[in-house]
Amino acid sequence: MYKKSFLTSALLVSFIAVYSQAPKKAAPSAKSQKEIAVVDPTIMTIAGKPVTKSEFLAIYNKNNKEASKDAKAIQDYLQLFINFKLKVKEAEELGLDTLQSFRNELEGYRKQLAQPYLVDNEVNEQLLKEAYDRLKTDIRASHILVNCKADALPKDTLIAYNKAIDTRNKILKGDNFADAAKKLSDDPSAKENGGDLGYFSALQMVYPFESACYNAKVNDVTLPIRTKFGYHIIKITDKRAAQGQITVAHIMVKANAAMNPTDSAAARNKINEIYTKLKAGENFADLASQFSDDKGSSKRGGELPAFGTGRMVAEFEKASFAIAKDGAYSEPILTQYGWHIIKRISKKEMGTFEEMKAELKGKIAKDSRSQKSKDSMISKIKKEYGFSETANSKAEFVSTIDSTFFAGNWKSDKASKLTKNLFKLGDKQFTQKDFTKYLETHQSQRLKIDTKVLIDDMYNAFVSEKCLAYEEQKIPSKNAEYRALMQEYRDGILLFDLTDKKVWTMAVKDTSGLKNFYEQNKSKYMWEQRTEAVVYTCKNDSVANAVKSLLNPPPPPVKKKKKGEPEPPAKPLTEADILSMINKNSQLNLKIEHGKFTKGENEGVDKVAGKLGMSENMNINKQVVFVNVEKILSPENKSLSEARGIVTADYQNVLEKEWLEGLKKKYKVEVNDAVVSSIK
C-alpha cells in the first residue's frame, strides 16, 4: 500500500500534499446558487467545472504561510494550481479512479486516516497527562505472580484469585515477601531476585500493573491486580524523582559467571589495563574502538543510545547516573555481561509536557491503555445513535457452541435457526445471522472456556466493531478535515499513477527518445577540466617515503654476467605487491585511489594544481598524501551513460511540459481575473 508514497515524492508539486485540506463547504440547499457565488466566487473553471476562490486560497495559504500575497506570487501559484487540476481531470477522464487497484489502495489509506477520529480525544488527553505526571516518578517494586489466562474458566479464575489473596494475607501477617516470591511466584525470575523488578517508570509495565504501583504508597502490599498474565501481589519498595535520560559511552570486556578462573582473571586484568591507559590520558573513543568487545558501539567510540530508568541492567544504570559530570568516567564495574568502564557524555532532565507530547502520544497509541479512549468512544457512539438491544437474543447462541469452535472448525449452520434482531444502531439493524457470520470468521484454536463467557466476550467485540464501523461511515459527513484528507489521498494516488505512466516510466523506457534528447542537448552535459591521477594516502612520512622507494626503486647493482647468460627479466612491483608489503602489520598504513578528479573532489589533487608527475608529501587530515598526476584532461562531453541520471531528469521535465501543453489544449481553462485581483 505504501509503494507509491506520493506525499513524499519530490516529483509531485508541493501543493498536491495539501490539496483539499481546507474544510470544504457542502452546498447548502437553503441557499441559491446566486447566494453561494456571492459568498464564495468562482476563481476559474476547468473543462466547465468551477473552482472556488476559497479552495485556491486554502491551498495557497498552506504552502505560502510566510509569503506576501503580491500579484506575481499569486500568478505563479495560480499556474501551478491549474497544472494540478488539469492532471486530476485527465486521470478521471482516463478512468483511473475506477480501477480496482486504485480503489484497494485508497481503501487502505481510508482505514488509516479514520483511526484518529474513532477515539475519544478527551480521554486521550487525560491519558497523556497521566503518563507525563507518572514519568516524573521512578518506582521500585516486587511482585508475586499467580498465573491466570485472560480467557480462563470462572472456576479457574476464582482459584487463582483465592491463591493470590491467601499469599497476601500471609505476607501481611509477617511472612517475608522475597521468600514468598521465591517459593510461590509463577514468574521464573523470582527464584533469583525474590520478585524484585528494580526501578521502572510509566509505559514500561502493563497498564493495570503500572496504575496499581503509582496509586500505592511505599511499603504497601496491594490487593491482587489482574493483568493478561494473571494476578499480581505487588509490594512498593521505593519511590524517587525521575532521573531523566543519560547518554554514555562504554568500553566492555566480556565476562560471565560460566568463565573458568583463568579467563575471568584475564578479563579483569584487561579492563584494568585499559583503565590505566585512560588515567594516563589516552582517548576514550580510541580505546573503545580498539579494545571494546561491544562491536556495535565500539565503531562509535563506545557511545550508546540515550536511556532512562529501567532500560539497562541495574548495575550499569546505577553507575551511569552516579557519574557527576559530562566527560567523566567510572571505575571498572561488573555486570552479567562483563566489565565496563562508562563515560558520561550528556544528561537530560525530563522535558516539558509540550516537548514530550508527540512522543507520548505515539507510545500510548501502542499501549493497552489506548483501549480506554476506544471504549469511551464506543459509549458515545451508542448514545449518539440510540443503541438498543433485543433481550436474551445473544444468550441463544450458548447452545450452538460445541468443541468444534475451540478447534477452529465450527460452522455457521449450527446457528442457522437464529434469525432474530440483536441490536439497533442508528438506522441499521444487526441480526443474529450477522453475529453468526462473525463467530465463524473469528473462531480460533484455543483452550476451552466457559461458553457463556465466550459468547459475552465475542458479542461485546462484535458490537464494538460494528459501532466503530458505523461511525467510520459517518466521518465524511461530520468532519471537513477528514473529507479533505481523503480528497488529498485520492488525488495523490491518481496523480502518481498518471505521472508515472506519462513521465517517469516513459522517460526510462523510451531509450530512443532519451538518446535523441541527449544528442540534441549534449553540450549541456560536460566534464570540466579533470586530472587523471593516483592518490597515495599514508599513515606518516616514513610510510610515504617507503612507498615512493617501492614505486621508483634504485637500479640493481651491476653484476658480472657469465658468458652466454641472458639478462634477468625486470620484475616491477605491482600495486597489490606494494599494498601487501606496506600494510603487512596494519591496513591503515596505505590507501591507493585512482580517478579522474574535478576541482573540489580531492584535496591532494587540488593542491598539486595539475602538475604532471609525482608530488611532494603533503599533510592532509593528520595523514601524509602524495599524488602522481598522469594526465590533464581537457573539458569534454559526458557520455550518455555518465550523465544518464541528469539527462533522464531533464527529459522527464520536457515530457511533462509537452504533456501539460496537450492538456491545456484538451481542457478549456477560464480564469476570472477580477477574482484573482481581489486576493490581498
Phi, psi (5° rounding) for residue 571?
Answer: -125, 80
What HEC string does 282-329 produce?
CCHHHHHHHHCCCHHHHCCCCECCCECCCCCCHHHHHHHHHCCCCCCE
Over residues 292-311, the mean pLDDT reads 91
CA distance 88 to 82: 10
From 59, 49, 65, 73, select the one nearest 24 (Cα to Cα): 59
219-261 tens-digit pLDDT: 999 999 999 999 999 999 999 999 999 999 999 999 998 889 9
Whether the per-residue pLDDT at 532 is higher than 80: the answer is: yes
From 232, 231, 236, 228, select the one nearest 206 (Cα to Cα): 228
How far is the CA of 159 from the CAs of 154, 163, 172, 493, 626, in angstroms? 9, 6, 20, 56, 82
Predicted local distance difference test score (pLDDT) of residue 25: 32
Classify domain 526-552+573-636 by CATH number.
3.10.50
Q: Is 549 helix (H, G, I), strand (E, B) or coil?
A: helix
Predicted local distance difference test score (pLDDT) of residue 127: 95
First to last CA, the chain: 41
24-28, 61-65, 228-232, 341-345: which has the minimum mean pLDDT? 24-28
Stated pTM of the model: 0.64
Predicted local distance difference test score (pLDDT) of residue 446: 72
Average pLDDT for the chain: 88
**Residue partners of 150: CB distance under 8 A and separation at least 6:** 228
Predicted local distance difference test score (pLDDT) of residue 679: 85
> Where, residue-wise, is CATH 3.10.50.40 in the chain?
137-241, 245-349
Contact criterion met (CB below 8 Å) for 78 and 60: no
Over residues 618-638, the mean pLDDT reads 93
From 367, 389, 391, 370, select the one nearest 462 (Cα to Cα): 389
CA distance 572 to 491: 67
From 68, 66, 64, 99, select the one nearest 80 (Cα to Cα): 64
200: part of which helix (H) or strand (E)?
strand 196-200
Whether the per-residue pLDDT at 16 is higher than 60: the answer is: no
Predicted local distance difference test score (pLDDT) of residue 7: 31
178-199 tens-digit pLDDT: 999 999 999 999 999 999 999 9
State the virtual CA torsion across 88, 93, 99, 103 in degrees, nearest 10: 40
Contact criterion met (CB below 8 Å) for 185 and 145: yes
Predicted local distance difference test score (pLDDT) of residue 8: 29
Whether the per-residue pLDDT at 17 is higher than 50: the answer is: no
CA distance 464 to 118: 11
From 86, 650, 153, 155, select the one nearest 447 (Cα to Cα): 153
Give percent helix, percent strand, percent coil of the chain, each to the nearest 5.
50, 20, 30
Whether the per-residue pLDDT at 31 is higher than 80: the answer is: no
Predicted local distance difference test score (pLDDT) of residue 182: 95
Q: Where residue 330 falls among pLDDT bands split at 50, 70, 90?
A: very high
Q: Where residue 23 falls among pLDDT bands split at 50, 70, 90?
A: very low
Contact criterion met (CB below 8 Å) for 309 and 320: no
CA distance 423 to 432: 9
Instruction: Tell me which architecture the domain covering 245-349 has in CATH.
Output: Roll (3.10)
Phi, psi (5° rounding) for residue 30?
Answer: -75, -10
Contact criterion met (CB below 8 Å) for 496 and 6: yes
Whether the per-residue pLDDT at 9 is higher than 80: the answer is: no
Higher pLDDT, 488 or 127: 127
Q: Where residue 561 falls among pLDDT bands split at 50, 70, 90?
A: low
Contact criterion met (CB below 8 Å) for 603 and 541: no
% of the chain residues with pLDDT over 70: 91
Classify domain 137-241 by CATH number.
3.10.50.40
Whether the per-residue pLDDT at 265 is higher than 60: the answer is: yes
* Residue 185 falls in which region: left (phi positive, over 0), alpha (psi -120 to 50) or beta: beta
Over residues 357-376, the mean pLDDT reads 91
State the virtual CA torsion across 545, 551, 555, 561 in degrees, nearest 10: 130
- Cα-to-chain-centroid distance, residue 146: 37
Predicted local distance difference test score (pLDDT) of residue 341: 96
CA distance 138 to 140: 7
Predicted local distance difference test score (pLDDT) of residue 40: 84
Whether the per-residue pLDDT at 13 is higher than 50: the answer is: no
Whether the per-residue pLDDT at 523 is higher than 60: the answer is: yes
C-alpha cell at 156: 479457574
**Residue partners of 514: CB distance under 8 A and separation at least 6:** 507, 640, 647, 648, 651
Q: Which listed CATH number (1.20.58, 1.10.30, 1.10.4030, 1.10.10) goes with 1-93+480-522+638-680?
A: 1.10.4030
CA–CA–CA angle 216, 220, 223 (5° rounding): 80
CA–CA–CA angle 261, 264, 266 (5° rounding): 110
C-alpha cell at 211: 496504575
